[in-house]
Amino acid sequence: MIEFKAISKKWPDGTAALSDVNVTIPKGQFCVILGPSGAGKSTLLRAVNGLMQPTNGEVVIDGVTLTSATARTLRQRVAMIHQHFNLTLRMSVAANVLAGLLPVVSTGRAILGWFTPEHRAKACALLERVGLTPKHVQRRAGELSGGQQQRVGVARAFMLDPEVVLADEPVASLDPKISREILSLIRDAARERNATVLCSLHQVDLAREFGDRIVGMRDGRIVFDGTPEEFTDERVEALYHGAQWEDHPATEVEAELDALQPQLVAA
Ligand X SMILES: Nc1ncnc2c1ncn2[C@@H]1O[C@H](COP(=O)(O)OP(=O)(O)O)[C@@H](O)[C@H]1O
Residues of this chain that bind ligand X (CB under 6 A):
11, 13, 15, 17, 35, 37-43, 247-248, 253
| Residues 52 and 43: beta-carbon distance below 8 Å | yes
User: b vs e for 132-166, b when ≥16 Cβ sit within 10 Å of the residue's Cβ?
Assistant: beeebbeeebeebeebbbbbbbbbbbbbbebbbbb
Q: What does the alpha-carbon distance between residue 64 and residue 59 come to, in Å, rounded to a whole number?
A: 8
Smallest distance, Mg ion to C-beta of residue 37, A: 7
Smallest distance, ligand X to C-beta of residue 62, A: 24
Of residues 163 and 168, the one with the C-beta less far from ligand X: 168
Largest separation between any pair of C-alpha atoms in the chain:
55
Name which of Mg ion, ligand X, none residue 40 binds, using a CB cut-off of 5 to 8 Å depending on partner kind: ligand X
Instruction: Point out which span in 27-35, 42-50, 120-128, 218-226 binds Mg ion (CB under 5 A).
Output: 42-50
Smallest distance, ligand X to C-beta of residue 202, A: 8
Q: What does the alpha-carbon distance between residue 212 and residue 26 come to, in Å, rounded to a whole number?
A: 11
Residues 4, 33, 36, 42: which binds Mg ion (CB under 5 A)?
A: 42
Residue 249's DSSP bridge partners are none
Interacting residues of 28 by C-beta distance below 8 A, sequence separation 6+: 190, 191, 194, 195, 196
Is residue 203 a contact point for Mg ion (CB under 5 A)? no
Of residues 192 and 246, the one with the C-beta less far from ligand X: 246
Of residues 114 and 245, the one with the C-beta less far from ligand X: 245
Smallest distance, ligand X to C-beta of residue 41, A: 3
Of residues 107 and 244, the one with the C-beta less far from ligand X: 244
Instruction: Point out which span in 15-23, 33-41, 106-114, 190-198 binds Mg ion (CB under 5 A).
Output: 33-41
Q: What does the alpha-carbon distance between residue 121 and residue 173 come to, in Å, rounded to a whole number?
A: 30
Q: What does the alpha-carbon distance between residue 251 and residue 99 come to, in Å, rounded to a whole number?
A: 24
Smallest distance, ligand X to C-beta of residue 111, A: 30
- Residues near Mg ion (CB under 5 A) are 41-42
